[in-house]
Structures are given as C-alpha cells and as structure tokens.
Amino acid sequence: MTRRLKEIIIKRIFFLFACVSILILGLIVTFLFREGIPIFRIVSVPDFLLGGEWYPTFDPPAFGIWPLIVGSFIVTFFSTLIAVPLGVLSAVYISEVAPRPLKEVLKPLIELLAGIPSVVLGFFGMVVLAPWLQDTFDLPTGLNIVNASLMLALMAIPTISSIAEDALYTVPREFKEASYALGATKSETILKVIIPSALSGISTAVILGMARAIGETMVVLMVAGGAAAIPESLFDSVRPMPASIAAEMGEAPFRSEHYHALFATGIVLFLLTLAFNLIADYVSHKFKEVGSGTL
Amino acid sequence: MALQSSMRWRYLKEGFFFGLVRLSAFVITAALGGLLFYIFFNGLGAISWGFLTLPPTDSMTKGGIMPAILGTVYLTLGAIAIALPLGITSAIYLTEYARQGPLVRVIRIGVNCLAGVPSIVFGLFGLGLFVVFLQFGSCILSGALTLGILILPTIIGASEEALKGVPQTFREASLALGVSKWQTIYRIVLPSAMPGILTGSILGIGRAAGETAPIMFTAAAFFTAKLPSSIFDEVMALPFHIYVLATAGTHIEATRPIQFGTVLVLVGLVLVVDLVAIIIRSTIRKRKRW
Amino acid sequence: MEDNRVIKTKDVNFYYGKFRALTDISMDFEKNRVTALIGPSGCGKSTLLRLLNRMNDLIDGTRVEGEVLFEGKNIYDPEVDPVEIRRRIGMVFQKPNPFPKSIFSNITYGPRLAGLSDRVELEALAEQSLKQAVLWDEVKDILGQSAMMLSGGQQQRLCIARALAMKPDVLLMDEPTSALDPISTAKIEELIQDLKRQYTIIIVTHNMQQAARISDKTGFFYIGKLIEYSATEKIFTRPDVKQTEDYITGRFG
C-alpha cells in the first residue's frame, strides 16, 4: 500500500467517526418518532398539543399535553427571570470588577458549581426549600412553581455566568480604552461599550441557559409538584414535560398508548430544545461575522 | 453642560451599579456555597466506612450504598470508554483534516445540537434503541452507551480546543521534514494536545456520574440483591438511589440521613473529579512551553 | 511665560511592577503647539503619553512617582478624578478603535455621557466635529451606519472627531498613522496642522519624517529617559546629544 493511499484511507476513517454525531442525532429522531408517532393514530396532533387534559391512565384516557407545555414554559420563564440578571451581573463582576486574586478563585469556582448534579439540586429543593416555603407562606405544598424556578435558576446561573464571562473577556481592550479616554466612568464603559459589544455572546449564554432549564428533568421532577393542570398562582404545582416522561415511563406498559404518548412528548421537548440551540448557534455566528455591525 | 451636578449624579449611578454587581456575585456564591455546606454538614454524620463498603439492608433503611457507588463507577467508566475514542477521532477530523465548508458546518451544528438535547430525551432514545430495538434490556451496557452519547459533545469540544491550541509551527516543522500528515498528527499533535483532551474527558466523567434521567429507563435499578456479574445486568447508581430514596421509598423520613449521606458522596465524587480536571488544566496553562 | 505651558511633568518615574519604564522625566508642553515624542520602540514615549491622561491607571501593577501638572494642578493628586482629566485631555490611539455602533453614536458617546441630551445640539456638535476632522463630506449621508464599515483612514479620522466632540484642551495621539496607508496618513498630518490652532497636540510617532513635518517641538527618548528636548528644527538639524543624532540619522533604532 502506498503512503498516499494510506493517508487517504486514514482521512476517510476519521471522517466516518466525525459523522457519528450526525448519525446519532438522526437515530435520536428516528427512534423518538418510531415510538412516538403511533399515538397520533389515537389523537390528532392539535388535540395532543393543545388538549387541556392529561389523564393517561384513565378509562378512556386523555392525552392532551398543553398543561405540561405550559408547565415547562412557566418554570423556564421564571427561572430565566431570576438567572439572567444574576448570571450576567456576576459575570460582569468576575470579568470587570473583582480584584485579580478573587477573580482567579471565582472563575473556576463557578465552573465547579455548574457541575453539581441536578438530582442534588432537586433533593435540596425538596428537603430544604419546600418545607420552608410551605411554612413561611402557609401553603398546602412547597413543591410548586416558585420552588422549581428557584432551583432551576440555581442550576442555570453557573452556565450563564461562565459563558457570559467568556464573552465579556473577549471584548477588545481598544474599546475600553476609547471609552475611558472620552471621559466615561467605569460603569458607563461597562454598560454602554463592553456589554453591547459582548451582546451576542451574552445572548447565546441566555438561550443556552433557557434550553438547559426547559430540558432539565430531575429538578422539575422532584420539586415542581406534578399537577398536570394549568396553574393559577405561582404557588401552584405544575408538571413540566420532562417530569411527566420521567415519572410515568416506569409505569407505562410497553408500547401502550401511554408509552407512545410519552415518546411523543419527548419529540415536542426535543424539537423545542433543538429550536433553542439553533437560535443560539445563529445568534453567535451572525453577530460574529458582521463584526457586530449595528447596535 | 451642568458639569458638577451631572458628575455627582453619574457617580451615584456608578455606585449603584457596582453595588448591584457585587450583590449578584455575593448572592450566587452564598446560595450555592450555602447549599454545599448544608449538604456537607447534614451528610457527614451518615458517612462511615461501613456506609461506603456495605450493601443496603432492611429494605434500604439501613446499611450502606456500596452497590450504588460501584454501579455509578461502572456506568461512568463504560461511558468514557465509548465517548473518548469517538470524541477524539471526531475532533481530529474537524481540526486537522476538514476544510471549512457546508459539510463541516453541518457536522458542527450536529455536535452543538447533540450537546443541547435534554438528558431525558437521551433516556428515551436509549430506551428505544438499546433496550427495546437491540434488545439489550435495562443494563450496564445500555446505560453506558446512553451516557457515552450524552457526554460525546463535551469530549469533542474539549479535544477540539486542545488540538487548536497546538501551535501551527509544530505541524509545519514536522511536515517540512517530509513526515506524512497522519504521522505528524500521531507523533506531534496528539501528544501535545493530550493533557487538554484528558482534562475535558475528566469533566465528562463528572457529568456522566451525576446524570439521572438517562439511566432511569436504561440501566438503573431500585435495588439489586447482588452485585452485577456482567454488562447485561441492571445496576444501582448513586443519583438514582437519591431520587428513589427521597421520593418513592417506604420510609422517606427514616432514611433522611442515608439520603444526605448519598448526596454527599455523589457531590463529593463529582466535585473532586471536576476539581482535579480544573487544577490540571490551570497547571497546564501556566506551564505551557510554547 | 508660565501661562503657555499647559502640561508639565516633574521628575516622573513610572513602573510596571518592578520594571522602571520612565526615569526622571521633566518636560513642559506648550499651548497650541504640536509636540512630538520620538525614540526607538520600548523607549517609554507611549507610556509617557498615556500617563498624561491617566490611561495607565487601567493597567494592573503600575506605579507613578513625581508630578504631572495640568494647568498647575497635579493630576495624580488623590483628589483628582481621572474621568474629569480624560474629558479635558482627549486621546487618539494607534489602531483606529471606533465602537461597534453607528457613526453618529460614536461621535456623541462622550458628550451624551457628559450630560448633553438635546438632539439638535448633538447633531450640530457631530457635524462640527466631523468637519474639523475633515470627514463630514464623506459620511454626512451615512451617519446612521456602522462605523465598522468605514475604511481604516476614515475610522481614524472618526476617532479624532470623536475626541474633538468632547472639546478637549489637549489632544494626545499615540502613533495615529502607523496603521494607515500613505494617503490617509497625509490627510491626518494635514489635519493635525489645522487643529493646532485650537488645541494643544502631543503626538507619539516612530516616523521621524512625520515628526519633522508636523511638530514644533520634539523630545527624543531612549530607554525610559528624555535624552533631548527642543525645537523640532534644532533636533533634526543640529542636535546637542550624540545619541539623538545617531537615531535621527538612522544609525540605530
């Protein structure tokens, strides 16, 4: 075998391995649809998505996941509301404000905190936060939207903070110097020059943080309370999609309608997070290429 | 321009902004630090030699968590054994061979999308493919494969970053000596990038060890009477053990100390693994010779 | 005349950590004059320039000894606010560094922060500054577009206009043409000649012809020391010090 042929073969082999990720993505789609599509023989797609009743084990069963979708969006929304300001501001602190020694401790620390397993956060929310909420606000249960949003925020903050910090870090020093030389104060420079310049990176951080929150299972499974109904107050329980899948798959008989409905819920969840990730990818590339032209 | 008054107003805003920024950093550190301390002090009492080395007894209200520790170790090692070779080769293709173009763009988007797939969806996928379609059943193999796919994007990302960090001059020097591309990669590029790749892999280990949702339907058992004897056996795992004891056990309140102990073991395991990776990485960065 | 010397440095020493970058610099800068600072790379000329509007504050681990007097007041006095100083002493950098914002927002960035909010005034100011920087005709129709779209030379003139919009007393220029082509360089040199009627200009350059063309006084620096400082004509025709002569005749550098 000539050396050239060998090189070509090696290159092809690496190419095949690189395609494995695409292959897996394809397989995920295939198997989600294979196991999920059969439910649409029983309910139509609009009825499944927008149906207000999720009673999969009743007779006759009802497979409407609207309450689950609403549950997912509500906890994602409120956790984002908490996590974005805290995450971004702490990134500003680490990158622009903290004295150097503190910065060198905080940066890896935040990264380390991003590694706390979500089951641990769920456990904490269940054992510590839930009883406290219950007592303080005199509620029937502490497992509710507030609890889930807080724990999800806690989970997303390190992610948001560390990606946003990377984005702030890459803002060219020239921008800062130009701003200071024009008589801007430090906070004005941060707010009007540094943050706008890092906006695409910060947006990516926020979207990825949201994607993590909407797809997170253990936290919502353990602390959201599990009521499959449209909530009326922040202290109501909800049943986000991942929680529903995780809680019910164990009991759903193999290839029953319930089993297929859970896979179909998985499809919805998958498509939602896919959309989030594509948007994040788009945002981070779009601004990069035009040199963040218009602000 | 009313300079003096506007200056005072500007410094007032300055102070307010910095106050807000410091407060945020403090709140986060306090919340997450407080959480860790709480777990540490509540879990410490449960930790003993027996807790770490004995199986559970009396329908899991007493005894230790050794089978769960062992199961997590098996699953994690299996996952890394699958993800590491796949991840490194993918990264080599992307950084060393691929030319920028639509195909590479598609692969990159694929990797990014894979990174964003919710862990419960990986669980469903593992159930559909490994457990049902390939008929492995719920076992170590299915769980390890599922977790391996879950951490694949992490490994690819870390390996790519490490490979990109190898100076172009190294490659040029080797190629200029008439060494083939593959030999250059194998003898020069990979050894230089290896510490970075390993760091990324260790972070992947930490992630795999802590995941619950992907193994719920693919590997994890509530309780196993004996230790697994092959990769086709179900196992107990630390994260699943915590979930089960905290939500579905028959003696939820009675097993609180065991729950806290298990949480502490899991957190300790994951954080120590991550910490090792972070320390190695910062040492490499400081000592980098090029 | 005491009055004419806008900035005076007195025995200034400057350190990056333990490294002493400037040694005993005492220098006066005259009003409405162009002063050039020349010398080989690393001689401290840029460091001195950045010291005059406290830009070196932004670098960790630096230390200043001695006094820098601006209109008789030491700008390193603890009570002095560097923000006020930078408002009165503008700066143009080596690489054009417009913000990734529109041309108009770039010009009005400083004045807005200083409290000017009236749209009509801002527009007038933008026009005036751009005209001063001889950029108005080229950009008057595209003020809303991103400054990043301009050519390098235009960007640099925009940065000059941006500095002028603050109506500073002194303009510091750190090798403002080193990243530009010859035509843009000629435009900016011409501009500097016009601007000195209203402003005091201190310019760092490693292009000796440039210093000779545009400046009234020239200071020659070598390894952190001011070797010679006098009228440009004298420096370039009959310098007192041998090192200066060697440098300007190209025997080292």
Which residues on A lie below 8 Å from B96 (Cβ)? 14
Rounded to an integer, the average pLDDT of C95-116 is 89
**Whether B10 and C81 lie within 8 Å, measured CB to CB:** no
Which residues on A lie below 8 Å from B39 (Cβ)? 120, 124
Q: What is the pLDDT of residue A116?
A: 92
- Mean pLDDT lowest among A130-134, B55-59, B181-185, C239-243: B55-59
Q: Is residue C111 part of a domain?
A: yes
Q: Is residue C126 part of a domain?
A: yes
Where are chain B's structural domains?
67-287
Between C252 and A39, name the one with better pLDDT.
A39
Q: Is residue C80 part of a domain?
A: yes
CB pairs under 8 A between B and C: 12
Q: What is the pLDDT of residues B152-165, one digit of tens each?
A: 999 999 899 899 98
Q: What is the pLDDT of residue B171?
A: 85
Residues A53, A50: Cα–Cα separation, whole Å = 9
CA distance B1 to chain C (A): 6
Residues A61, A57: Cα–Cα separation, whole Å = 6
Task: List chains touching B (3+ CB pairs under 8 A).
Answer: A, C
Q: Which two tokens stand for residue C251?
A: 């025997």
Percent share of chain B, pLDDT over 70: 96
Q: What is the pLDDT of residue C106?
A: 92
Q: What is the pLDDT of residue A295?
A: 35
Task: List chains touching C (3+ CB pairs under 8 A).
Answer: A, B
- Domain CATH for C85: 3.40.50.300
Q: What is the pLDDT of residue C2?
A: 52
Q: Is residue C103 part of a domain?
A: yes
CA distance B186 to chain A (A): 12
Q: What is the pLDDT of residue B169?
A: 82
CB pairs under 8 A between A and C: 80
Residues C188, C93: Cα–Cα separation, whole Å = 13
Q: How many residues in chain B?
A: 290
Residues B199, B197: Cα–Cα separation, whole Å = 5
Residues C103, C87: Cα–Cα separation, whole Å = 20
Average confidence score pLDDT of chain A: 90
Under an 8 Å CB criterion, which residues of A touch C? Answer: 100, 172, 174-185, 188, 192-193, 196-197, 291-295
Q: Of C91, C74, C81, C58, nearest to C11 (Cα)?
A: C74
In B6-65, the residues whose Cβ lies within 8 Å of chain C are 6-7, 10
Q: What is the pLDDT of residues C206-248, one digit of tens each?
A: 888 899 999 999 999 999 999 999 999 999 999 999 989 988 8
Residues 6 or more apart whose Cβ sits within 8 Å of residue C40? C206, C222, C247, C252, C253
**Whether C81 and B2 lie within 8 Å, measured CB to CB:** no
**Whether B6 and C81 lie within 8 Å, measured CB to CB:** no
Q: What is the pLDDT of residue C240?
A: 92
Assess whether the previous peptide bond of A60 is cis (omega < 30° from 0).
yes
A291 falls in which pLDDT band (50, 70, 90)?
very low
**Whether B39 and A157 lie within 8 Å, measured CB to CB:** no
Pair type for strands C73-74 and C89-92: unpaired
Which residues on C lie below 8 Å from B1 (Cβ)? 114-116
pTM of the model: 0.84
The answer to whether residue A245 neighbours chain B at the CB level (below 8 Å) is: yes
**Whether A184 and C60 lie within 8 Å, measured CB to CB:** no
Burial status of residue C224 (CB atoms within 10 A of its CB: 0-12, 13-18, 19 or more): buried
**Integer angstrom CA distances of residue A97 from A103, B22, B33, B226, C8:** 9, 8, 21, 55, 32
Q: What is the pLDDT of residue B254?
A: 80
Rounded to an integer, the average pLDDT of A222-226 is 91
CA distance C233 to chain A (A): 31
In A176-235, the residues whose Cβ lies within 8 Å of chain B are 185-188, 190-191, 208, 211, 214-218, 221-222
Rounded to an integer, the average pLDDT of B91-102 is 87
The answer to whether residue C81 neighbours chain B at the CB level (below 8 Å) is: yes
Rounded to an integer, the average pLDDT of B206-212 is 91
Contact C6, C30 (CB under 8 A): yes
Percent share of chain A, pLDDT over 90: 62
Q: Of A168, A152, A153, A174, nearest to A203 (Cα)?
A: A168
Q: Of A95, A86, A88, A85, nearest to A186 (Cα)?
A: A95
The number of distinct structural domains making up chain C is 1
Q: What is the pLDDT of residue A130?
A: 94
The answer to whether residue C79 neighbours chain B at the CB level (below 8 Å) is: no
- Phi, psi (rounded to 5 degrees) for B281: -65, -45
CA distance B199 to chain C (A): 30
Which residues on A lie below 8 Å from B213 (Cβ)? 217-218, 242, 246
**Whether C55 and A176 lie within 8 Å, measured CB to CB:** no
Q: Which two tokens stand for residue A246?
A: 């995780």
Q: Is residue C253 part of a domain?
A: no
A294 falls in which pLDDT band (50, 70, 90)?
very low
Q: What is the pLDDT of residue C68?
A: 94
Q: What is the pLDDT of residue C3?
A: 67
Contact B62, B226 (CB under 8 A): no
Domain containing residue C161: 2-248
Average confidence score pLDDT of chain C: 90
Q: What is the pLDDT of residues C145-201, one digit of tens each?
A: 999 899 999 999 999 999 999 999 999 999 999 888 898 899 899 999 989 889 999
Residues B205, B199: Cα–Cα separation, whole Å = 10
CA distance C209 to chain B (A): 37
C68 three-class SS: strand
Percent share of chain A, pLDDT over 70: 96
Rounded to an integer, the average pLDDT of B48-68 is 82
A120 three-class SS: helix
Find the residue in B nearest to C113 (Cα).
B10
| Residue the block writes with tokens 């190209």 | C250
Which residues on B lie below 8 Å from A216 (Cβ)? 118-119
**Whether A181 and C60 lie within 8 Å, measured CB to CB:** no
**Whether A182 and C55 lie within 8 Å, measured CB to CB:** no
Burial status of residue A141 (CB atoms within 10 A of its CB: 0-12, 13-18, 19 or more): middle
Where are chain A's structural domains?
42-289
ipTM of the complex: 0.89
Q: Is residue C162 part of a domain?
A: yes
B53 falls in which pLDDT band (50, 70, 90)?
confident
CATH architecture classification, A42-289? Orthogonal Bundle (1.10)
Predicted confidence (pLDDT) at residue A289 exceeds the cutoff of 50? no
Q: Tell me, which fold does domain B67-287 have in CATH? A: MetI-like fold (1.10.3720)
CA distance A81 to chain C (A): 28
Residues B136, B116: Cα–Cα separation, whole Å = 26
Q: What is the pLDDT of residue C61?
A: 83
Q: What is the pLDDT of residues A32-86, one digit of tens each?
A: 999 999 999 999 999 999 988 899 888 888 999 999 999 999 999 999 999 999 9
